[in-house]
């Protein structure tokens, strides 16, 4: 069983205008009727202008107005009996007009409304009641709208967007309130920009009748607010507005009806995008020069499309590997591991494209990849397999240095550095044992390393006398002389080892010609020099390979014992 809904909606504005029209009609009808009262005929001129026909139309219009007013009064009675009582008391006699017109018919249509003016006071009384009522309603609506406005602003600030949508939809005209909402929430503070954008985007995706217009108008208002101050317009977070606008313009139609905007809305949004396109290049320059200033933007990048991040990284790299460190500092602030992985993939492709993979900066990228793989959230990252493949794409020696322990040998001689004890000189050996094993601990985000001898837990440093030294960790923590830079040579086949503080290079002083060299009778000395004249490939190129010992299980299993070594 279905119950028919009774229409109880009445329009006070329409009732008021109807009463105004009725006042005009009865004044006109009363004036015309007096021209022919007491049975006198009308003048020829009055007949010539068809006053009689016009009078008939006016009578019909007056009757329709009375009937409309009666229907509205019935609706008022159902909803607001107090208002009905006031209107009926002061102007109820107006409804007698309908009966009077029906009783007279067309016979006396010219004369019978001579006294219609007597209904004027009743209509004026109803107008006064409506004036008072509508004034009270306006005050109530203004108070209600102000309260709703405060609720909307508070919900947006607290990021309770579902509540905001309900309040905004209940506005009689949300678009009229939108400027007040934007101004009250934004407060010329870019930290509030994202809150407004999330509200606008969420409401756009609800596909309401005014969703598209609300989004476009909101973006225009934000742009106006930002343009009022050069500092706001140049702020790094201005890229958020650009990103949300681009997202709305590029959204596929099948994803949301809101993307099927009217052409006028799309054109307005394109104008906003064109105004903001310069923020891309400003962001690129800041990433290259001062990445720490871009940290607030990086933390919010999960709200933007991945394509914008890729475009920023490509433009920031610009074919110059010197920009890589600052770019990676920006990437370090991204809030999602998947975005980190996408960034590493883009940067590695740029390094490959410009043939920079074998530059020292490859350690910067390798270090960031290692840090990400050690992150607690890496196991749940959807792109973790991409990062594992990217690690496998790095030069093998870079992976060995960053992920494993290694041995260091002089050029092609297979003579290894040997770290015997703290306070003693670094020696050489021709066999692999624990005292040959070193670990490269990345510092300065991978731009340099501490070289730790794992067997004695000593760190290689510069003594100041031209000789390297081994010292405990306590001495090496804040001392730049214990930091070393690896400079790839011959495509990462060999490395030069340079002290990060002094710039001196590590080399082996060989006491005789290579042809006369004998490891057991010719004592090599490890030294440091800042002069290139004494350096050759043979004495200053170092080969770094992953530490390769046999199984360190028990002797009973037939493996190589802990104290045993393997002759090269």
Residue 56: per-residue pLDDT = 73
Tokens of residue 40, six digits? 């006198």
Partners of 444 in the β-ladder:
none
| Contacts of residue 500, Cβ cutoff 8 Å, sequence gap at least 6 | 444, 448, 480, 483, 484, 485
Pair of tokens at residue 221: 């208002």
Q: Tell me which architecture the domain covering 400-545 has in CATH.
A: Trefoil (2.80)
Is 409:497 a contact under the CB 8 Å cutoff?
no
Number of other CB atoms surrounding residue 239 within 10 Å: 21
List CB contacts of 356: < 8 A, sequence separation 6 or more.
Answer: 321, 350, 362
Residue 231, phi-psi category: left (phi > 0), alpha (psi -120 to 50), beta (remainder) = alpha
Q: Are 184 and 221 in contact (CB under 8 A)?
A: no
And the tokens for 508? 């082996």
Please answer whether residues 297 and 283 qualify as being in contact, where contact means their C-beta atoms are separated by less than 8 angstroms: yes
Token output for 422: 């703290």
Per-residue pLDDT of the chain (568 residues; tens, 9 = 90+): 343 444 457 778 888 888 888 888 888 777 644 444 444 444 444 444 445 556 677 788 888 888 888 888 888 888 888 888 888 888 878 887 777 777 766 555 545 566 777 888 888 888 888 888 888 777 777 788 888 888 899 999 999 999 888 888 888 777 888 999 999 999 989 999 999 999 999 999 888 888 889 999 999 999 999 999 999 999 999 999 999 999 998 876 544 444 455 677 888 999 999 999 999 999 999 999 999 999 999 999 999 999 999 999 999 999 999 999 999 999 999 999 999 999 999 999 999 999 999 999 999 999 999 999 999 999 999 999 999 999 999 999 999 999 999 999 988 888 899 998 888 888 888 888 889 999 999 998 999 999 999 999 999 999 878 889 899 988 888 888 999 999 999 888 999 999 998 999 999 887 656 555 656 556 788 899 988 888 988 889 999 999 876 544 443 434 434 444 444 4
What pLDDT does 40 receive? Answer: 42
Q: Are strands 468-471 and 431-432 parallel, antiparallel or unpaired?
A: unpaired
Eight-class DSSP state of 38: G
**Rounded to 5 degrees, what are φ and ψ at 184?**
-70, -35
pLDDT at 258: 44
Domain boundaries, the chain: 12-31+47-147, 175-252+259-394, 400-545
What pTM does this model have?
0.73
With contact defined as beta carbons under 8 Å apart, do 503 and 531 qualify? no
- Is the separation of the CB atoms in 504 and 540 below 8 Å? no
202: left (phi over 0), alpha (psi -120 to 50) or beta: alpha
């Amino acid at each position: 069983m279905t119950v028919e809904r009774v229409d109880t909606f009445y329009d006070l504005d329409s009732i008021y205008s109807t009463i105004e029209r009725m006042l005009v009609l009865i004044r006109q009808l009363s004036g015309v009727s007096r021209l022919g009262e007491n049975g006198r005929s009308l003048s020829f001129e009055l007949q010539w202008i068809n006053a009689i026909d016009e009078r008939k139309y006016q009578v019909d219009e007056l009757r329709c107005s009375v009937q409309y007013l009666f229907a509205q009064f019935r609706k008022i009675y159902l909803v607001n009996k107090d208002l009905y009582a006031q209107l009926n008391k002061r102007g109820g006699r107006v409804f007698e007009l309908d009966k009077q017109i029906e009783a007279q018919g067309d016979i006396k249509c010219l004369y019978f409304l001579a006294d219609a003016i007597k209904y004027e006071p009743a209509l004026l009384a109803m107008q006064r009641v409506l004036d008072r009522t509508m004034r009270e309603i306006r005050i109530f609506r203004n108070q209600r709208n102000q309260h709703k406005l405060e609720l909307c602003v508070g919900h947006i600030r607290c990021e309770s967007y579902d509540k905001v949508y309900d309040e905004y939809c209940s506005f009689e005209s949300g678009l009229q309130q939108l400027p007040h909402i934007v101004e009250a929430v934004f407060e010329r503070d870019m930290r509030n920009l994202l809150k407004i954008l999330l509200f606008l985007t969420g409401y756009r995706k609800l596909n309401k009748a005014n969703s598209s217009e609300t989004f476009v108008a909101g973006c225009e208002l934000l742009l106006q607010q930002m343009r009022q101050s050069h500092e706001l317009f140049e702020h790094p977070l201005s890229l958020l507005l650009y990103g949300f606008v681009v997202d709305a313009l590029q959204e596929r139609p099948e994803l949301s009806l809101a993307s099927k905007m009217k052409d006028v809305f799309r054109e307005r949004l394109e104008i906003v995008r064109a105004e903001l396109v310069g923020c891309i290049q400003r962001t690129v320059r800041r990433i290259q020069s001062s990445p720490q200033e871009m940290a607030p933007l990086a933390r919010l990048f999960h709200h933007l499309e991945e394509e914008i991040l890729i475009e920023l990284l490509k433009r920031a790299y610009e074919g110059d590997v010197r920009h890589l460190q600052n770019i990676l500092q920006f990437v370090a602030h991204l809030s999602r591991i998947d975005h980190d992985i996408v960034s590493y993939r883009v940067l590695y492709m740029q390094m490959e494209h410009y043939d920079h993979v074998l530059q020292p900066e490859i350690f910067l990228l390798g270090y960031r990849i290692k840090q990400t793989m050690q992150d607690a959230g890496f196991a749940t990252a959807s792109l973790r397999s991409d990062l594992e493949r990217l690690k496998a794409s790095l030069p093998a020696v870079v992976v060995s240095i960053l992920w494993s322990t290694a041995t260091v040998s002089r050029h092609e001689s297979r003579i290894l550095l040997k770290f015997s004890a703290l306070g003693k000189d670094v020696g050489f050996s021709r066999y692999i044992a624990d005292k040959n094993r070193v670990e490269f601990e990345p510092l300065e985000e991978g731009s340099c390393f501490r070289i730790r001898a794992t067997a004695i837990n000593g760190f290689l440093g510069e003594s100041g006398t031209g000789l390297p030294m081994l010292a405990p960790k306590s001495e090496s923590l804040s001392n730049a002389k214990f930091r070393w830079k690896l400079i790839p040579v011959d495509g990462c086949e060999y490395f030069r080892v340079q002290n990060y503080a002094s710039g001196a290079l590590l080399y082996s002083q060989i006491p005789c010609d290579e042809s006369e060299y004998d490891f057991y009778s010719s004592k090599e000395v490890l030294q440091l020099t800042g002069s290139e004249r004494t350096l050759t490939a043979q004495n200053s190129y170092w080969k770094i390979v992953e530490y390769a010992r046999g199984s360190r299980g028990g002797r009973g299993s037939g493996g190589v014992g802990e104290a045993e070594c393997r002759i090269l």
